[in-house]
Amino acid sequence: MVRRVLEYRPLIPQSALDYVKDVFESGCLAGTCGRFVKLFEDALARFLGVKYVIACSSGTSALHTCLRSIGVSYRDVVLVPGFTFVATASSVLHAGAIPLFVDVSLDDLNIDLTDLEYVLKRLKDKSCVRAIIVVHIGGVPAKLSEILNICEEYRLELVEDCAQALGAEYNGKKVGTFGKVSAFSFYPTKTITTGEGGAVATSDENVHNIARMFINHGEDRRYHYVMLGYNYRMSEINAAIGLAQLENIEYYIESRRTFAETFIREVSSRLGDLVSFQKPAPGCKPCWNLIEILINLEKLNVSRDRLVQELKNEGLRIISVAYPEPLNMSPLFQNIENLLPYEINIERGLLYRRLKNCMYICSRVITVLVPPGLSEDDAHNAAEIFINVLRKFCSNL
């Protein structure tokens, strides 16, 4: 097998260049023109099986829009997992609400149901909790049936953060369609990319109407403003790039699945308990935006950072660390009481607690970014590099 350097590159089809040329020739580049943005929104809505999609400027703006569209505001509490990208929780702050962190499961690395129940039962004022943001880490769906039961019991809204999960399924249904509203990202490392961009998905007409106004300066008709909004619109250029990929999205998803499943199978069979991977729950069909690997560092004579550098040096440049620190331990969220213009009525032991599983995961996780379009041979190649590098630092293999 010929070894080659594996780097992350988006897969942009020729049709995207044709569409962008069309945009330039039209002379109308802004999202207010509505042509390619509308085509992109409609195509994504059909793919997901929802009534409405609102294209946004980023995944972060999409999350902020989701929260405001269901009425999250000052003094509300939103439960978020501690193992995720900053936007999941910073969007709560942007909405003026309080992100309260929940631990994650060591099995699928998604929000832990036992800890979720623990937090809800320990909160003295449960009426302040408005929503749960569920993140499908790496494109592996969270346990949505159980989470929906908890939402029903405590009368909470479910917001799905599907930034890494476009195309993943749970019990035969696309993720992003289980809660009242969901957010997607189209950053270059996501299932499809628009360069920068995101989307809100919903089948609720009222949520759609509010979200549509919110991303467009709060106007319900031209120059008539009914709420405080933002300019979170997607441009025609971004939408044109995204539309071209949406037209062949199954290939983007399936090529990732083939790569990830082959890589996981080969590495697991040859490295045993030196590594562990996410274990999707029954009914889950991941789209594998990322492969999260937990390394048994006790058996290796090397630090995690040195291991990452060695893997990159050997040609596996799709390696990263997502994420090296539990989100609630970052200075931003350790300073949360000084960020909000009101007193937080949550006991400090709950607001600032250490999340045991998040800390364990963050100390030993290595991430494989999964580009679209790679082959089974590429997966074998990547697995061979990975195995050989780890064996170099393990005397028992």
Rounded Cα distance, 370 and 213, in Å: 35
In a domain, 5, yes or no: no
Is residue 214 located within the same domain as residue 294? no
Please state, as a whole number, how many other Cβ atoms lie within 10 Å of the Cβ of residue 181. Answer: 29
Is residue 170 located within the same domain as residue 260? no
In a domain, 368, yes or no: yes
In a domain, 124, yes or no: yes
Is residue 91 located within the same domain as residue 224? yes
**Mind listing the pLDDT tens digit for each residue in 65-118?**
999 999 999 999 999 999 999 999 999 999 999 999 999 999 999 999 999 999
DSSP secondary structure of 225-260: E-S---B-BPPHHHHHHHHHHHTTHHHHHHHHHHHH
In a domain, 6, yes or no: no
In a domain, 370, yes or no: yes
Rounded Cα distance, 8 and 79, in Å: 32
Rounded Cα distance, 36 and 242, in Å: 9
- Looking up residue 116, the CATH number of its domain turns out to be 3.40.640.10
pLDDT < 50: residue spans in the chain: 1-2
Is residue 239 located within the same domain as residue 291? no
- Per the CB < 8 A criterion, the answer to whether 139 and 160 are in contact is no
Per-residue model confidence (pLDDT) at position 351: 96
In a domain, 62, yes or no: yes
Is residue 167 located within the same domain as residue 26? yes
Is residue 239 located within the same domain as residue 257? no
Per-residue model confidence (pLDDT) at position 173: 98
Domain boundary (230, 248, 266) is at 248
Per-residue model confidence (pLDDT) at position 1: 45
Is residue 53 located within the same domain as residue 140? yes
Domain boundary (221, 248, 275) is at 248
Domain boundary (215, 248, 281) is at 248
**Mind listing the pLDDT tens digit for each residue in 242-256?**
999 999 999 999 999
In a domain, 88, yes or no: yes
Domain that residue 272 falls in: 250-323+359-392
Is residue 283 located within the same domain as residue 224? no
pTM score: 0.97
Rounded Cα distance, 17 and 63, in Å: 29
- Per the CB < 8 A criterion, the answer to whether 317 and 371 are in contact is no
Per-residue model confidence (pLDDT) at position 335: 95
**Mind listing the pLDDT tens digit for each residue in 275-290?**
999 999 999 999 999 9
- Looking up residue 297, the CATH number of its domain turns out to be 3.90.1150.10
What is the count of structural domains for the chain?
2
The residue behind tokens 């029954």 is: 282
Rounded Cα distance, 66 and 76, in Å: 14
Per-residue model confidence (pLDDT) at position 397: 62
Structure tokens at 392: 């170099």
